[in-house]
């Protein structure tokens, strides 16, 4: 409960300096670093946040809604579609998605469709399909682009790299909320950003960003670094090890 204490401390500071009329968001991660060791099989983090208001904040008729979007390191992704050519099926069309996160996890306290209109979700890039939509309306004119983006999301969801939890955010009180984030072992190493947006009645009120990183440590880190920095030596060691194991087996199993 260390982070809870931290949030409460931040809250008290917030009260003394807060002069804004709208709400502000305060967010904290249960940890800012995930370390990969040889028995690593994935990890879980928790995002904690607080909706901060003071006496001058306007009263809201609608409840607070929170959406947490976790984005992993960005890579260029290729989405290919198989089509029929004569009797065989081959990859014919492909689309590039430059700078697309390889990990994307969206969580909200209730289904996004109940919180806001479709247009707002598209404009504010809320939800799995909208999160990485390029800006500009030309995309909507191209049904092909949307089809490829939806396929990308579907396939990545199958690999547990993309995910949407429509009740992944829990309000612990009127203002304090938490959202667990599962990081599967296949999630890439690198830096992750966490975007938290506060909505009420379909209108965005405040946003906050935090981050964490996934890194290799210990022997995993040394081997990965060795493979890059000492490529030739690494290759020679691997192949000598392979030949040695091969030789060893023939000695151990020798019968004739």
Partner 1 sequence: MQIYLPIAELPISVLMVLGLSGAVGFISGLFGVGGGFLLTPLLIFLDIPPAVAVATVAAQVAGSSMTGVLTYLRRKALDLKLGGVLVSGGILGTVLGVLFFNTMKRLGQLDLVITLSYVTLFSIIGGLMLYDALRAMLRVRAGKPARLKRRGGMHPWWMGLPFRQRFYRSGLYCSVIPIALLAVIIGFIGAVLGVGGGFILVPGLIYFFRIPPAVVVGTSLFQILVTMTGATVLHAVTNQSVDIVLAVLLLLGGVIGAQFGGRAARSLNVESFRLLLALLILSVGLRFAIELFIPPSEPFSVVVPESGR
Which of 11, 77, 139, 175 touches partner 1 (CB under 8 A)? Answer: 77
> Smaller CB distance to partner 1: residue 79 or 196?
79
Q: How many Å apart are CA 207 and CA 105, to the nearest integer?
A: 17
How far apart, in whole angstroms, are the C-alpha atoms of residue 201 and residue 62?
A: 5
Q: How far apart are the C-alpha atoms of 194 and 175, rounded to whole Å?
A: 19
Q: Contact with partner 1 (CB under 8 A): which of 89, 118, 211, 215?
A: 89
C-beta of 93 vs 117, nearer to partner 1: 93
Q: Which of 91, 89, 126 is nearest to 110 (CA)?
A: 126
Q: Compute the distance between CA of residue 256 and CA of residue 246 in angstroms, rounded to an integer.
A: 17
For the CA atoms of the chain, what is the radius of gyration?
A: 24
Cα angle 120, 126, 132; round to 5 = 115
Q: Which of 20, 30, 35, 40 binds partner 1 (CB under 8 A)?
A: 40
Residue 215 lies near partner 1 (rule: CB under 8 A): no
- Does the protein bind partner 1 through residue 56 (CB under 8 A)? no
37, HSE (Cβ side, Cα atoms, 13 Å): 4
Q: Which helix (H) or strand (E) holds 85?
A: strand 74-85
Interface with partner 1 includes 216 (CB under 8 A)? yes
58/231 with CB nearer partner 1: 231
Number of residues that bind partner 1 (CB under 8 A): 62
Beta-bridge mates of residue 216: 36
User: Which of 81/140 has CB closer to partner 1?
Assistant: 81
For partner 1, what does the binding mask look like between residues 99 and 138, x meaning CB under 8 A? ---x------------------------------------
90 touching partner 1, by CB under 8 A? yes
3-class DSSP assignment, residue 35: strand
* Closest distance to partner 1 from the beta carbon of 62 (Å): 38
Q: Phi/psi at 244 (nearest 5 deg)?
A: -65, -45
Residues interacting with partner 1, by CB under 8 A?
Answer: 36-42, 75-84, 87-91, 94, 102, 148, 151-152, 154-156, 159, 185-186, 188-189, 216, 219-221, 223-224, 227-228, 231-232, 234-239, 241-243, 245-250, 253, 256
């Amino acid at each position: 409960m260390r982070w809870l204490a931290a949030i409460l401390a931040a809250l008290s500071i917030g009260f003394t300096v807060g002069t804004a009329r709208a709400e502000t968001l305060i967010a904290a991660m249960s940890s800012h670093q995930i370390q990969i060791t040889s028995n690593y099989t994935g990890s879980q983090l928790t995002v904690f946040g607080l909706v901060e208001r003071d006496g001058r904040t306007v009263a809201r008729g609608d409840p607070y809604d929170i959406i947490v979007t976790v984005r992993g390191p960005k890579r260029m992704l290729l989405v290919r579609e198989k089509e029929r050519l004569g009797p065989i099926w081959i990859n014919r069309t492909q689309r590039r998605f430059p700078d697309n996160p390889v990990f994307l996890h969206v969580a909200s306290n209730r289904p996004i469709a109940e919180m806001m209109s479709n247009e707002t979700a598209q404009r504010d890039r809320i939800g799995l399909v909208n999160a990485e939509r390029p800006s500009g309306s030309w995309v909507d004119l191209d049904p092909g682009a949307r089809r490829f983006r939806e396929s990308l999301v579907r396939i990545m969801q199958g690999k547990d790299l993309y995910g949407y939890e429509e009740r992944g955010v829990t309000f612990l009180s009127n203002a304090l909320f938490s959202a667990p984030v599962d990081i599967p072992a296949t999630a890439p190493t690198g830096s992750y950003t966490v975007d938290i947006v506060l909505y009420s009645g379909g209108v965005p009120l405040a946003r906050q960003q935090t981050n964490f990183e996934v890194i290799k440590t210990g022997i995993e880190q040394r081997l990965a670094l060795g493979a890059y920095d000492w490529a030739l030596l690494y290759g020679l060691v691997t192949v000598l090890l392979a030949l040695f194991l091969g030789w060893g087996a023939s000695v151990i199993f020798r019968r004739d």
